[in-house]
Structure 1
Amino acid sequence: MLNDYNHPLRLSADPSRVVVRPFHLAWQSNGADPSRARRLVDAVLEMSAEEARQQLVGVLADFEARHWQTRRVFMTRYDQIVELLSLDLPDIGDEKRQLIGAYFCHEYSYAAAALMNPSVVPHPDQTGLDRHSTRILMSLRAVGEGHISSIAFREGLISRDGQLYLAHEPPFATATDAPDTDGEYQDGPVTVYRHADSTLSGTVIFPITPAQKNGLEDLRMTHFRHDDGKHEYIGTYTAYSGREIQSELLRTRDFRSIDLVPMRGAAARNKGMALFPRKIGGRYMMIGRQDGQNLFLLTSDEIDHWEDGALLLKPHYPWEFVQIGNCGPPIELDEGWLLLTHGVGAMRKYAIGAVLLDKDDPSKLLGRTPEPILAAKDQDREGYVPNVVYTCGAMRSGDQIFMPYGVADSSVAFAFIPIKEMLGRMV
């Protein structure tokens, strides 16, 4: 195994990373009058100006230093509540507006439980770097209250000699915005927007639609090159409603506006899909796991429509007897497509391996590691789900593969693995 190529840096869950989110009350009054929401608004309206001022002072003393532009957030939330309740209010002053907004917000610790299952792509901005360095953008699965998963990001820099530097997280995190109907979104495509003043390292994408209600899980990002030469960042992730799963696409060119698009077809009812970074033979291609235990090669003329594909790979070695799956989008090398895989063996121990697929016909297997290239050992064994190492995507850096990976469904570690050595272990 190649565990010796691990980088010493480790990222862990952090309950201090919080954002302000809308607090959704039951809008229907169930026959009673007024509704809970209207009762709250009326209670603030009945306060004297001094009482409202003192209440707001207390709220701001508790929360203003913990969030970015807190008063503005409260004012925006007030405007939303007035529209939702169809209120026609006189000028009540900024302090009562902010206080009403505060009653309809709450603080959410989005990474309190776990930080795991990263993927990585070249950053959209590569200016000012020498040829030995690459700016990176990493996605992370952040798990908070209620075990609900969201998508967080972290920017950094890697060098071809195995150095890794992560940008500092900003003091305040901000959630992406979408046209707000106070949680009454319908399933279907949704566009979310990063705030103009927020860095990617401080941006979080939360579940929005009913299909996503219980989480956005395991984003596998790729830097996709279209036939016309234009580039787009495209990721696949699992939307979890609490009862059902479906695969969806994240699409963006600049990470300012981000489309979240459900996929169609039989294959989209499964998780763990990974997109090739370009068309092959004029068609889009994916790696999927349609039956929960084997790898399949999927092809399509439409990037958001995927039917069942052809069997590509079955478990073969003891460390993967239970099941195999992909560990992110294939990576293009001169030798072929390098596909990182995960295998599950005895005692539900996860390990990471690799296969090499033909560049022109990825249905052809050229090589496969008989032993894992990375497996849980020592400190990597302990966590929320022990004995698991897992990545959702790696990238090439010179003659190495840079691979961030999740440890025990709890934290994130990093490895630089020589490509020559990885290929040399294949049979």
Structure 2
Amino acid sequence: MLELFDHPLRLHADPSRVVVRPFHIAWATPTPGAESRTQRMVRAVLEMSPGEARDQLEAVLKDFEARHWQTRRVFMTRYDEIEKLLNLDGSQISDEKRQLIGAYFCHEYSYAAAALMNPSVVPHFDQSGMPAGSQRILMSMRAVGEGHISSVAFREGIITDRNQLQLAPEPPFATAADAVGDELEMPTGPVTVYRHRDSTLSGTVIFPITEQQSKGLEDLRLVKFTHDDGEDEWIGTYTAYNGSAIQSEMMRTKDFRAFDLVPMTGSASRNKGMALFPRKVGGKYMMIGRQDGENVFIIDSDRIDNWDEGQLLLKPEYPWELVQMGNCGPPIETEAGWILLTHGVGAMRKYSIGAALLDLGDPTKVIGRTKEPILAAADQDREGYVPNVVYSCGAIRHGDKLFIPYGIADSSIGFAFVEIEQLLSTMA
């Protein structure tokens, strides 16, 4: 019987977690050939008397300064972007008017009001000072806010070999990563967003930027990828959603300061739930996918950003997965082979998490798989926005255990530890 340690900690949606975001008015209502809303609003502030501008700014700060981190600095940063866009002469504009202009081009957003779910975890880029048996981790989470728009939030923490988990405190204020570029058009294709220079990673949120992403960045599957030259890069595959169509994309970063959001190409990129192996295998990049919405496929490629049709790897076999299967994040390398966490959907659309073992040199070969779930929705974990769901976007190896963060009922996040040898012993 597999023994799984389910940590008591739960993370829940929190409408009080708000962030100041750039308000891109031009994207909402472009007006070609006439004075834009951006120009009209800036002109209106510039035409205010010094006293009126000061009064308006004080009213804004009274409402929001206590709720946000470095509010005046955020407004000034936003003003600098508008100044560059409109070629303004900032030397002729008072500090009060510059801050007020910046305020008109920001808005407050509750990014996790509806749900916090579907986490993935990777080794933190900074392991300095960690005692034996401990590892610093970095977790991504799908945060769902107003309009059911999904964004990517982060949380740092430490795990130990005694099934202990300690998350770094969330800062009182969160900040949005943002792109630098033309405000008059919504970006398309690849885009780079930057974490605010003074913001912690646990206080950073990545929101949709491009038109394809406009309704959500969903289910980031992070992996620490080691290139042939030994250089590490953190890469996450996710689903970009615009309200009607999906596109698989990659988030790529080496420092968690700049994040490249890059659409993938190839026929497989039309599907959700792609998960990248942490290194090349046999000279090829490898990906786990679900090309038909029912089975698990494995794909190889000569390019990390281009993925075509793959081959069938796993199909539903046991009662708890008969409806459909998918991956629960990137494969995890062990001496015995690649451990691939899977999710299965059974009767009454109940989700469970299982696992398969793939050959280390040839991951197209399945060595074994769990007959029974290792984790399933039960008791208090059954209720939520979408009942009877447990779901993970990626686990991590820590010594002789797996640490598995998982989403609960599309509403909250839980955490579990499982012994690798015991897990392997349950496979057939």
TM bucket (normalised to shorter chain) is over 0.9
Tell me how far 1:35 sits from its aligned partner. Answer: 3.8
Contact persistence 2:4–2:417 (CA under 8 A)? no
Matched, 1:25 2:25: yes
Per-residue CA deviation, residues 338-373 of structure 1 (Å, 9 max, x unaligned), is 000000111111100000111111111111111111
Residue 8 of structure 2 corresponds to which residue in structure 1?
Answer: 8
Residue 219 of structure 2 corresponds to which residue in structure 1?
Answer: 218
Residue 40 of structure 1 corresponds to which residue in structure 2?
Answer: 41
- Mapped to 2, the partners of 1:74 and 1:180 lie a distance apart of 17
- Measured at CA, do residues 183 and 313 of structure 1 come closer, stay the same or move farther in structure 2, by a change above 3 Å? farther
For 1:402, give the aligned amino acid.
Answer: F
Tell me how far 1:166 sits from its aligned partner. Answer: 0.4
Matched, 1:352 2:340: no
Residue 276 of structure 1 corresponds to which residue in structure 2?
Answer: 277
Q: Secondary structure at the match of 1:47?
A: coil
Structure 1 unaligned blocks of 5 or more:
none
Tell me how far 1:144 sits from its aligned partner. Answer: 0.8
Task: Please list, as runs of the form range in 1=range in 2, the aligned pairs for 1:158-169 lying within 5 A after superposition.
Answer: 158-169=159-170
Matched, 1:375 2:363: no
Residue 295 of structure 1 corresponds to which residue in structure 2?
Answer: 296
Per-residue CA deviation, residues 310-340 of structure 1 (Å, 9 max, x unaligned), is 1111111111111000000001111111000
- Mapped to 2, the partners of 1:378 and 1:59 lie a distance apart of 46
Tell me how far 1:2 sits from its aligned partner. Answer: 5.4
Contact persistence 2:4–2:418 (CA under 8 A)? no
Contact persistence 2:118–2:141 (CA under 8 A)? yes
Which moved further from structure 2: 177-186 or 17-26? 177-186
Contact persistence 2:30–2:184 (CA under 8 A)? no
After superposition, the CA RMSD in angstroms is 1.7
Q: Secondary structure at the match of 1:248?
A: strand
Tell me how far 1:85 sits from its aligned partner. Answer: 4.1
Tell me how far 1:90 sits from its aligned partner. Answer: 7.2
Structure 2 unaligned blocks of 5 or more:
none
For 2:15, give the aligned amino acid.
Answer: P
Tell me how far 1:205 sits from its aligned partner. Answer: 0.9
Residue 93 of structure 1 corresponds to which residue in structure 2?
Answer: 94
Per-residue CA deviation, residues 136-168 of structure 1 (Å, 9 max, x unaligned), is 000001111111111111000000111100000
Residue 236 of structure 1 corresponds to which residue in structure 2?
Answer: 237
For 1:397, give the aligned amino acid.
Answer: H
The number of residues matched between the two structures is 426
- Mapped to 2, the partners of 1:333 and 1:224 lie a distance apart of 15
Tell me how far 1:105 sits from its aligned partner. Answer: 1.1
- Measured at CA, do residues 157 and 193 of structure 1 come closer, stay the same or move farther in structure 2, by a change above 3 Å? same
Contact persistence 1:183–1:208 (CA under 8 A)? no
Task: Please list, as runs of the form range in 1=range in 2, the aligned pairs for 1:8-407 lying within 5 A after superposition.
Answer: 8-26=8-26, 28-29=30-31, 34-87=35-88, 91-182=92-183, 184-407=185-408
Per-residue CA deviation, residues 13-64 of structure 1 (Å, 9 max, x unaligned), is 1111111112232454477x64433332233233221121111111001111
Contact persistence 1:174–1:203 (CA under 8 A)? yes
Q: Secondary structure at the match of 2:199?
A: coil
Contact persistence 2:110–2:145 (CA under 8 A)? yes
Over the matched positions of the two proteins, sequence identity in percent amounts to: 71
Which moved further from structure 2: 224-233 or 120-129? 224-233
Q: Secondary structure at the match of 2:344?
A: strand
- Alignment TM-score, normalising by the size of structure 2: 0.96
- Mapped to 1, the partners of 2:38 and 2:232 lie a distance apart of 46
- Measured at CA, do residues 64 and 292 of structure 1 come closer, stay the same or move farther in structure 2, by a change above 3 Å? same
- Mapped to 2, the partners of 1:140 and 1:90 lie a distance apart of 42
- Measured at CA, do residues 126 and 290 of structure 1 come closer, stay the same or move farther in structure 2, by a change above 3 Å? same
Q: Secondary structure at the match of 2:309?
A: coil
